Amino acid sequence: MMAESSAKEMEANQVSAAGDQTAKADDRYVIIDRGVKRHLLNRPWTLWYDSVSTYDCKQWELSLIEVMTVRTVEDFFAMLHYCKPPHVLRVSAQYHFFREGVKPMWEDPNNKAGGKLWVSLDDKTMTDKSGAAGGGKTRKDNGTDADKKPELDTVWENVLIALVGEYLDYGVEGEHIMGVVLTKRKYCNRIALWLKDASDSDAVAAIEKQLVKEAGYYPQRNPSSQPMALARPKEEEEEEEEEREGEKRKGEEIDV
């Protein structure tokens, strides 16, 4: 058990080297060395990670690594800077970014009645670094020009920024968004927004509208022809578990 724990701690350190958690929830600003002010987010968010190397099919909760909790704007952007971008993660790896205190599991009381909105993306479509449309150009080698980055990375960053800025549920009464999950898959990656109440159709529709607006969907991914969908959690469990088990059997070198 000690060896397994050490391995998971090492993997978490490799996923992120950032995260000074000195901010206090009741302070508007927190002063650090050199008198630099830190700006508190409206609520703390926790980044979790799992992959083939951490996967426990008998008790999935043990697969999760809690990487860091961000409480300030500065911590959030440090997290984006130091964590590996989604396009370089190995197949079956996942990032989970959830409200502090909410576990990225459907068994969590906050998620039991929930559902998710998702969009599928590949690794090859490129956008410019400002988030503008990439004109549908692709690079099979996933290389990056000076002014290009994978659309997967761009959309993930846009969703996270909109999430911590609380733009996604702007104007929606109550607390509906629990977190977001990025899943690296062999053929088509997925970014899924987890909602607390799948039965609240008005809230779901309003959040979907904001997600399309704030996250930045591009011409090659037309929301009208490829709509996001609300799904209950069990619909993809078997497919994802089969994919994970297949990757584990391959015995490939862990890259995170």
| H/E run at residue 14 | helix 2-15
Query: Are residues 19 and 75 in contact, defined by beta-carbon separation less than 8 angstroms?
Result: yes
pLDDT tens across 162-175, in order? 999 999 988 888 89
**Number of structural domains found in the chain:** 1
- What percent of the chain shows pLDDT beyond 70? 61
Q: Which of 149, 155, 129 is nearest to 214 (CA)?
A: 155
Residue 255 forms part of a structural domain: no
**pLDDT score of 128 more than 90:** no
pLDDT band of residue 67 (cuts 50, 70, 90) is very high
The 8-class DSSP code of residue 80 comes to H
Q: Rounded to a whole number, what is the largest CA-CA distance in the chain?
A: 52
**pLDDT score of 156 more than 50:** yes
For 113-238, list the strands marked E by DSSP. Answer: 115-121, 126-128, 148-150, 177-183, 189-195, 230-231
Residue 72 forms part of a structural domain: yes
- Tell me the pTM: 0.71
The position carrying tokens 């008790």 is 59
Beta bridge partner(s), residue 194 = 116, 179
For the chain, what is the mean pLDDT?
A: 73
- Rounded mean pLDDT, 246-250: 54
Residue 256 forms part of a structural domain: no
Q: Which domain holds residue 62?
A: 2-250
Residue 111 forms part of a structural domain: yes
**What does the buried/exposed string (b/e) look like for 30-59 if buried means 16 or more CB atoms within 10 Å of the residue's CB?**
beeeeeeebebbeebbbbbbbbbbbbeeee
Q: What is the CATH number of the domain that holds 106?
A: 3.30.760.10
Q: Reduce the DSSP state of residue 123 to 3 states and report it.
A: coil
pLDDT tens across 165-206, in order? 999 988 888 899 999 999 998 888 989 899 998 888 899 888
